[in-house]
Structure 1
């Protein structure tokens, strides 16, 4: 969330001082939370963690509202900025996801495993598809091979997303473990490829070996999200393996 606020602040024009000020406010908010969390460990009282979740939930809900306000201003053509509407919408979806997960944790709510697997994959497949589109747009047009690769990833993840949405509508039950196994395996292969592409792009950007308007931090940000998605896929795979045993 802190990095989202930073990226948005970079995209505003110099005269959009109020929006920049608000973005910087959220950078400071999440920096303070980071510092606070650094003092916690596995021995921290659960009541303290519950209060932390409430605090972070409120911050995530607040930055979500800010992002939706910015998106509205852009869509109504009330401002012109370098923040693409899909990018602002993308970051707002991540804020909504974060806030929802914190609320569910505090309330002790857990979705049935098949539903959780499908819903998480639908969310993150859309995130990965968006990333591919952003990379393709932010690379210099002269980087033709990399732009083509980004477009191929965009098409791949669009198709995986459509398949996941179809599966969500079918609502498979726990007895369809083989179907979910195949679903996770197929997604893992594509996410590994995209993660590796992002890592290569990040390293090339950092070494100033490709032409783009992508900050190194943004390249690293999307790489970390792909890596996180892989950890989620692996965790679900472990749960399915335990069920089969």
Structure 2
């Protein structure tokens, strides 16, 4: 990895995922009961931590000293690892029926997986670890296909039951992404060694079609929620949050596709 690529990728990951982590903490506060004062306070502290990180990197760019970025990655890694531990603690309390509220166990597990992904990404960047392209494509898609499947399930459960058409659409997306996930796991076990393996391009193309459809569905839902035109208990920020994650996944798919195309022309 070149120095400029290291700086650019680090800042891109931190800008995107720090906002996601901050919003996760906010969403958890909405799902706790009024009695969960300590957990709510902890979540609010994480909101402050990630807001400060966002402020800290506002003036950073691709020309920032790489050593500054390495230290930043360590700092943010520690924040991401800490919020991961907090989320797993919350999940344990829910699963052992120690707390109630409206935070689905799958949702808490979901956001803890994203925190782990973020922390590991920063660690890999600092260590200069680059997976072979074929392995990276499959691994990233397995992770994000599961995220998209989870989103579809959350949307279906948070829409009002009277929104039958939208609930049915969310369930269809959930099934579609479950199938794509199983397909990705099968492909992972086959471990294509060649970066020009035609299965990889087909795999990305198929995933792209489904992610575009889901992203557009999320965008429509977000706009309708903001305009108070559908019935749900989905916070407008949550609707925008899941839309941005789908859009981020598309960016990753396009980047992988560009790498495959470049390798084919060599």
TM-score, with length taken from structure 1: 0.99
Q: Structure 1: where are the runs of 5+ without partners?
A: none
Aligned residues: 245
For residues 97-156 of structure 1, the C-alpha deviation after alignment (integer angstroms, 9 at most, x for no partner) is: 000000000000000000000000000000000000000000000000000000000000
Larger mean CA deviation between 174-183 and 59-68 belongs to: 174-183
CA distance in 2, matches of 1:174, 1:116: 12
Q: Is it true that 1:228 corresponds to 2:248 in the alignment? A: yes
Please say if residues 77 and 119 of structure 2, whose CA atoms lie closer than 8 Å, have aligned partners that are also in contact. yes
CA distance in 2, matches of 1:175, 1:155: 29
Please say if residues 177 and 240 of structure 1, whose CA atoms lie closer than 8 Å, have aligned partners that are also in contact. no
Task: Report the counterpart of residue 8 of structure 2 in structure 1.
Answer: none
Runs of 4+ in structure 1 deviating by more than 3 angstroms, as ranges, are none
1:174 aligned counterpart, secondary structure? coil
Matches within 5 A, 1:40-189: 40-174=60-194, 176-189=196-209
CA distance in 2, matches of 1:199, 1:173: 37
Please say if residues 115 and 171 of structure 1, whose CA atoms lie closer than 8 Å, have aligned partners that are also in contact. yes
Distance apart, 1:43 and its partner CA: 1.6
Please say if residues 133 and 195 of structure 2, whose CA atoms lie closer than 8 Å, have aligned partners that are also in contact. no
Task: Report the counterpart of residue 215 of structure 1 in structure 2.
Answer: 235
Task: Report the counterpart of residue 45 of structure 2 in structure 1.
Answer: 25
Distance apart, 1:177 and its partner CA: 2.2
For residues 29-63 of structure 1, the C-alpha deviation after alignment (integer angstroms, 9 at most, x for no partner) is: 00000000102112211100000000000000000
TM-score, with length taken from structure 2: 0.91
